[in-house]
């Protein structure tokens, strides 16, 4: 019985199942495991924050900067940028990349594979930036640590790259869920901002990961609401016009944030040490007068919801904290921005609420309503992620009756910011000015499947010169392809149809049987038949990787290799242009007339003869 079980549930079989687009049960298993791993990591990260804060922060909380003396809270950012600068200064520019933008970059250009050095850098910068009083959140570290850990699980077991993409989304959602008890917001953020697609195959594993991770965090810290807000409602539809005006104003602030953050290219003329010093001095100077600009600021946001902060504090948070966060990012210190922009958005919304009460006494909605709507509007406008912003508003405040005005506010703010800056999302715009590769529907579809799902496995390897007897032996298994090895390793492998060799043997059967001198050896490079020049591709690669590789006009197909060591690598199959084409093209032959064979996508090369 045990032997039968092992024969059914093998790692090799599991990998092969994951290569297909419909590997939902296998992906759900990975979602559960990645949720457990990420949940444990987030418990560790939050515990380290608490332990660090207990050393010098009042009440042992990383949010109580207001209770520190002005000298201490102004000096902390200088110490933080010194520690971060010493760590990042010895790294290459690529080694300094962390946070959400790094997660999207690795998913887009590296098939979801992460570097270990950046992962450790995220631990250090994430802890120091929050505990050191910079305007930073813990969402970025949660997402990076969770996504990289989940992806590391797939890399360790050498799973197909299409499953790594789902694992990255699982780690992203699980990180947010465990950090803030917002499992739905985590799922939506992972699909809307990171994956940028909505599929059943993607949703279910991500939901499982978010659920498991959130349960682990609740077991460790208990269930607690981020903000305690009593029942609150819009009151009257007459408030909607002023809410639209408020959303326009917050959209303008979001556009300002993006523009300041984009000044990084101008600041590159300064040395990294000078940029770090500038950040430390500016944050420290602001913190001397307004400590509310430091840290994540959720304590300040809670007071904003209750209507307690003074107008000058709201201005310092709405403008000062927002600009300090943008300037810190522009200077190359990779802090998390989501927490600070939520806090700044709440303060900006409260200011618009106060202004509305002055202009329309007794008619405008309360400052709490405007503050709540401001958090979602600012997040949605900067990230261009309206659904994630609405879910964050719902789960952080537990006020479902705010969804209707929230939707209106988020849409108006998103449109305002987008039209002013042309931004399609802060993190996506940070990668490149061109269209994001994951936004191409074809590339999305091809990324969901790995090459083992469509490759031709029936092949044999052979030398160029063979005897007729060896040729007959090669054809015993009816191979579709013959892989011809060349005399030099520098020359590419070639693929020849097995049917071409079989046809040649039939046509020359008589002279071969008679032992004619010219037919004692067969040159596979000389017999009639089209030979495809091959290039290698990994067994874990997706069809999108194969698609890109086949853009080379000199290539006819790819041979799929596997094995850890170069000398031990084996060829598992061949993938042709026709195999890729048949995956994403559909034609109902009962409704359409037969068409000539073609590639179906704009690449150049020889005519496809793939199966």
Residue of 138, 163, 181, 120 whose CA lies nearest to 34: 163
Query: With 70 as the cut, is the pLDDT of residue 610 above it?
Result: no
**Average of pLDDT values for 193-201?**
80
CA angle 5, 9, 11 (to 5 degrees): 140
SS3 at position 238: helix
Tell me: the pLDDT tens digits for 558-578?
Answer: 999 876 554 556 888 899 888
Q: How confident is the model at residue 364 (pLDDT cuts 50, 70, 90)?
A: confident
CATH 3.10.580 residue spans of the chain: 452-584
Tell me: the pLDDT tens digits for 201-215?
Answer: 788 999 999 999 999
Query: With 90 as the cut, is the pLDDT of residue 169 above it?
Result: yes
Query: With 50 as the cut, is the pLDDT of residue 4 above it?
Result: no
Tell me: the pLDDT tens digits for 47-69?
Answer: 999 999 999 999 888 889 999 99
CATH 1.10.3080.10 residue spans of the chain: 4-227, 237-439
- Tally the residues of the chain: 611
Q: How many CB atoms lie within 10 A of CB 364?
A: 24
Q: How confident is the model at residue 603 (pLDDT cuts 50, 70, 90)?
A: very low
d(CA 337, CA 360): 34
Place of tokens 């418990």: 43
CATH number for the domain formed by residue range(s) 452-584? 3.10.580
Q: How confident is the model at residue 554 (pLDDT cuts 50, 70, 90)?
A: confident
Q: What φ, ψ does residue 573 adopt, rounded to 5°? A: 180, -175
> Which class would CATH give 237-439?
mainly alpha
Tell me: the pLDDT tens digits for 333-359?
Answer: 999 999 999 999 999 999 999 999 888
The token pair that represents 203 in the structure block: 């949703």
The token pair that represents 300 in the structure block: 């300040």
Give me the chain's average pLDDT, please: 85
Per-residue pLDDT at 365: 81
| Structural contact between residues 538 and 572, judged by C-beta atoms closer than 8 angstroms | no
Pairing relation of β-strands 465-466 and 494-497? unpaired
Place of tokens 């970059």: 105
| Structural contact between residues 170 and 194, judged by C-beta atoms closer than 8 angstroms | no
Write out the DSSP string of 411-478: HHHHHHHHHHH--S-HHHHHH-SS--GGG-HHHHHHHTSBGGGT-B--EEEEESEE-HHHHHHHGGG-
Per-residue pLDDT at 348: 97
**Average of pLDDT values for 5-18?**
73
> Which architecture does CATH list for 4-227?
Orthogonal Bundle (1.10)
Pick the range with the lowest mean pLDDT from 130-139, 468-477, 591-600.
591-600
Tell me: the pLDDT tens digits for 302-338?
Answer: 889 887 788 999 999 999 999 999 999 999 899 999 9
Q: How confident is the model at residue 600 (pLDDT cuts 50, 70, 90)?
A: very low
């Amino acid at each position: 019985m045990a032997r039968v079980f092992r024969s059914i549930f093998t790692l090799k079989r599991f990998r092969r199942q994951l290569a297909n687009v419909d590997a939902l049960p296998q992906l759900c298993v990975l979602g559960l495991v990645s949720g457990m791993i990420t949940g444990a990591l987030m418990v560790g990260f939050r515990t380290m924050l608490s332990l660090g804060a207990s050393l010098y922060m009042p009440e042992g909380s990383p949010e109580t900067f207001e209770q520190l003396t002005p000298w201490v809270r102004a000096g902390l950012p200088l110490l933080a940028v010194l520690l971060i600068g010493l760590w990042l200064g010895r790294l290459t520019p690529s080694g300094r990349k962390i946070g959400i933008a790094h997660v999207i970059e690795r998913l887009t250009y590296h098939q979801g594979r992460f570097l270990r050095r950046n992962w450790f850098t995220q631990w250090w910068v994430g802890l120091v930036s929050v505990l050191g009083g910079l305007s930073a959140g813990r969402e970025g570290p949660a997402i990076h640590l969770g996504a990289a850990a989940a992806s590391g699980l797939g890399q360790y077991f050498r799973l197909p790259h299409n499953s790594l993409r789902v694992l990255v989304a699982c780690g992203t959602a699980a990180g947010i869920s465990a950090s803030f008890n917002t499992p739905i917001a985590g799922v939506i953020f992972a699909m809307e901002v990171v994956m940028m697609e909505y599929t059943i195959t993607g949703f279910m594993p991500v939901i499982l990961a978010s659920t498991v991770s959130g349960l682990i965090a609740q077991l460790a810290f208990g269930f607690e609401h981020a903000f305690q807000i009593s029942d609150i409602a819009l009151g009257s539809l007459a408030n909607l016009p002023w809410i639209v005006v408020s959303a326009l104003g917050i959209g303008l602030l979001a556009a300002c944030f993006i523009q300041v953050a984009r000044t990084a290219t101008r600041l590159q003329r300064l040395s990294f040490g000078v940029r770090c010093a500038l950040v430390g001095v500016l944050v420290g100077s602001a913190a001397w007068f307004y400590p509310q600009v430091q840290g994540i600021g959720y304590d300040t946001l809670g007071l904003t919801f209750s209507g307690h902060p003074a107008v000058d504090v709201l201005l310092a948070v709405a403008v000062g904290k927002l600009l300090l966060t943008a300037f810190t990012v522009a200077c190359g210190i990779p802090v998390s921005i989501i927490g600070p922009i939520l806090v700044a958005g709440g303060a900006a919304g409260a200011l618009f609420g106060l202004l509305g009460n002055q202009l329309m006494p007794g008619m405008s909605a309360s400052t709490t309503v405007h503050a709540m709507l401001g958090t979602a509007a600012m997040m949605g406008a900067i990230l261009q992620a309206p659904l994630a912003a609405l879910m964050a508003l719902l789960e952080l405040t537990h006020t479902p009756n705010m969804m209707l005005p929230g939707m209106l506010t988020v849409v108006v703010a998103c449109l305002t910011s987008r039209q002013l800056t042309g931004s399609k999302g802060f993190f996506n715009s940070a990668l490149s000015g061109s269209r994001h590769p994951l936004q191409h529907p074809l590339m999305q579809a091809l990324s969901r499947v790995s090459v083992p799902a469509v490759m031709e496995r029936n092949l044999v390897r052979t030398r160029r010169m063979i005897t007729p007897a060896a040729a007959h032996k090669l054809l015993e298994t009816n191979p579709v392809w013959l892989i011809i090895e060349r005399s030099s390793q520098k020359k590419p492998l070639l693929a020849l149809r097995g049917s071409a060799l079989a046809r040649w043997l039939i046509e020359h059967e008589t002279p071969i049987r008679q032992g004619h001198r010219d037919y004692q050896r067969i040159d596979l490079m000389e017999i009639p038949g089209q030979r495809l020049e091959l290039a290698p591709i990994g067994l874990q690669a997706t069809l999108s990787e194969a698609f890109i590789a086949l853009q080379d006009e000199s290539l006819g197909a790819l041979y799929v290799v596997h094995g850890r060591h170069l000398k031990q690598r084996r060829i598992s199959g061949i993938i042709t242009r026709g195999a890729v084409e048949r995956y994403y093209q559909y034609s109902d032959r009962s409704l359409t007339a037969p068409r000539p064979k073609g590639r179906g996508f704009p690449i150049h090369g020889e005519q496809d003869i793939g199966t």
